[in-house]
Amino acid sequence: MGNCTGLFSSCEGKDGEAHNAVKRIDKDKIQKALNHNKNLENFSPDNMDPSQANSWGKMNNNGFDRGGFSNQSSPLKEVQQMQMMNNDQRIRQEPITLASGAIYTGEWRNGLRDGEGTQEWPDGSKYVGSWVNDKANGYGTLYHADGDIYEGNWQDDKAYGKGIYTHANGAKYNGEWKDDKQHGFGVESWPDGAIYEGHYFEGKKNGLGKLTFADGSAYEGNFQMNEISGSGFYVWSDGKRYKGQWLNNKMHGKGQLWWPDGKMYLGDFEEDKRHGNGLFKWKDGREYEGDWLRGKQHGTGVYRNHKGEERKGEWVEGKRVQWLS
């Protein structure tokens, strides 16, 4: 998935940045899908710029050195290295250049990085923290060459437990991690003021959460693998409100939609449109209850005026074609 926090492990996916940009693009895609619905009238387009997206984690082809030493070691260093290989106690050594060019300064045990130490890579990246059996374990901070920072807990070279990932542009994730991926509860924020608070599963928003956009619109409810799916409540910045079922960022299933001017629809939705059976009320008290097709009255329905008097009729593509009673 390319969700790795840094230089230690290999990740799936050919392009980590492309995969991880979903964490920014995803937010934008959700709001655009909601705002561009022609059926809901007067939506303002989302002005967020997906190009500002950065991946949560970066890969480094050098990987994480497993303790190989440079061939340029001096005779003194070779003696020190032999001592390190045969010492069950932690000892602190002067900086040692590893085979890939990374430099490690810190504690060793039996020839393995173990204890507190700092490793710097040729590109300027740096890890400062705890090591156990030649791997980042415990608490540590990884500074990326581009300015991104992860600070938190590690397990076998992977972010695991509580941690904070801060982008150079100000985007931030503060929460739980598992195997280098956001997993559990976390809070993700963006420089424009948008914020997500909720659950993640293997790097994706999944479960209950609340996503608030920079323009004040907000969704609270279920997410499924980075998509709004399940039951939830959405409020648009202009005051429209929807409560009901969703599928892939669209109103889909049973739901209720309110407009700021007093109109209301209660019934079936399909891909963001009134579709199936439903009740529509105008602010002056008139009602239509019956069949809908792709956002329009279509089929048999009952019309009631503001006095409660009703007539049964037939509608086609939003137009009444005849009264049936």
Q: What is the pLDDT of residues 31-44, one digit of tens each?
A: 665 665 434 343 23
pTM for the model? 0.78
- Rounded to whole angstroms, how far apart are CA atoms 191 and 187? 14
Q: With a cut of 70, list the residues of the chain below it in pLDDT.
A: 1-87
What pLDDT is attached to residue 55?
35
Cα dihedral 295, 299, 304, 310 in deg (nearest 10): 180
The residue to which tokens 């009703």 are assigned: 310
What pLDDT is attached to residue 100?
87
Q: Which amino acid is at 233?
A: F
Query: What SS3 class is residue 274?
Result: strand
86: left (phi over 0), alpha (psi -120 to 50) or beta: alpha
Closest CA to 38 of 213, 272, 219: 272
**How many residues in the chain?**
325
What pLDDT is attached to residue 274?
98
Query: What SS3 class is residue 242?
Result: strand
The residue to which tokens 């299933």 are assigned: 253
